[in-house]
Amino acid sequence: MTTTDRTTPGQTGRDTHAEALSLDTAVNLAEIEVLGRAALDRNALEYYASGANDGHTLRANRDDFARLRLRPRMLVDVSSVDTRTEVLGLELHSPIGVAPSAFHGLAHEQAEKATARAAAGMGSVMTLSTFSNTPIAEVGEAASGRFWFQLYLLSDRELSRSVIQRAEASGARALVFTVDAPYLGRREPNERHRFALPPHLSAPNVSTRAELAQVETDTGSQLANYFANLVDKTFTWNDLDWLRAQTKLPIVLKGILTAEDAVLAAEHGCHIWVSNHGGRQLDTAVSSIEALPEVADAAAGRVEIYLDGGVTRGTDVLKAVALGAKAVFLGRAALWGLAAGGEGGVRRTLELLQNEFRLAMALSGKQTVGQLGRDLIKR
């Protein structure tokens, strides 16, 4: 079966709500999601939207934000609210970045370059996936120094070393090592409909189009089958010294959900990214925002902490920062914006969320990001 057999040309999720919307009229990220979903064919939509198994963790990432209640303070001068912060020495206009996600070319022809330009233009930072559709150097140029690189540690250590060197040479400011994916979680829609990249796309950082085309897809997802033999499944905490020897960049471990692993990360001098991979790996795993307090307590200020998973409102950003995150990162939300309008769609996504965050700070009686603490959250 060829890739073109898997999707119906022109097939989208477009509905009357989407027809009535535009990027200019969208007032929140949910409406941009409607636009983005409507612009995608089934192959791309199922890849971006799917979670593991029954989707319990996927839903919990959002639901657990809503369960947290805020304790706003009154009669504070909020005529000027400063949303700026820093991550690893890089100033951000707000504590909102773009998480690594594969295959932006499924959403827009400009792919990761459009996302990088949008993030840079908004004073944000983009994290580029190992499985990007665009070579690292091209994204680095588009990002104007505002990007991190996400690494899957490959069984081929020499290829891993080469990828790291290319990321450094292209201006990456940090190396984000994903630790929660020795295997891919089972994303059933991708298995059922045999997800595969269309013929015009590849994963140039790790393979050629011809190599991908040879991956067997008659029994499920092309990516899952390819991934099965690509990633090093033997890598442990004891091997982090090898990774440290390959780069001078700060190392961030993405996928930490427990106090025990947070302690180990800090002891190894690694920053921490609280994440359950957007609910795409181990279903019924703890949500990111639920895991954050214990991770922050265990890290005890020794390293920086970030979070992704379920962030769709300015109050979500507020809660995550109050509970110990230095910044949050958008996965699907950025992809919906990219699908809805390329660079402009990602910019609109970041703009809406930054504005919501500023308003949430003001209504909570907070003038600066540094004032956000656990006193803001109802216990």
Q: Tokens 């997800």 correspond to what residue? A: 195
Per the structure, the count of domains in the chain is 1
- 47 closest CA partner among 238, 220, 300, 269: 220
pLDDT in tens, 67-77: 999 999 999 99
In a domain, 224, yes or no: no
| Euclidean distance between CA atoms 111 and 282, whole angstroms | 28
Nearby residues of 20 by Cβ (< 8 Å), 6 or more positions away: none
Binding residues for FMN: 100-102, 129, 150, 178, 254, 275, 331-332
pLDDT in tens, 113-171: 999 999 999 999 999 999 999 999 999 999 999 999 999 999 999 999 999 999 999 99
Tell me whether residue 258 is in a domain: yes
pLDDT tops 90 at residue 217: no
211 inside domain: no
The number of beta carbons lying within 10 Å of the beta carbon of residue 53 is 17
- In a domain? residue 256: yes
Residue 93 appears among annotated catalytic residues: no
With cut-offs at 50, 70 and 90, classify the pLDDT of residue 6.
very low
Query: CA 186, CA 45: separation in Å to the nearest integer?
Result: 16
Q: Where does the pLDDT of residue 11 fall: very low under 50, low under 70, confident under 90, or very high at 90 and above? A: very low
**Does 207 map to a domain?**
no
Say which CATH number the domain at 272 has.
3.20.20.70
Go through the chain and tell me how many residues it has: 379
* pTM, two decimal places: 0.94
Write the pLDDT tens digit of every residue in 341-359.
999 999 999 999 999 999 9
Per-residue pLDDT at 3:
37
- Select from 311, 328, 346, 287 the least CA-distant residue to 122: 346
Would 21 be classed as within a structural domain?
yes
User: Strand locations in the chain, DSSP E?
Assistant: 85-87, 90-92, 96-98, 126-128, 147-151, 175-178, 251-256, 271-274, 305-308, 327-330
Q: Kindly state whether residue 182 falls inside one of the protein's structural domains.
A: yes
Q: Give binding residues as ranges.
A: 47, 100-102, 129, 150, 152, 178, 187, 254, 275, 277, 280, 331-332
Nearest CA among 126, 65, 116 for reference residue 92:
126
Check if the beta carbon of residue 112 is closer than 8 Å to that of residue 133.
Answer: yes
Report residue 358 as tokens: 């500023």
Question: Is residue 101, in this structure, part of any structural domain at all?
Answer: yes
| Domain region containing 145 | 13-191+230-370
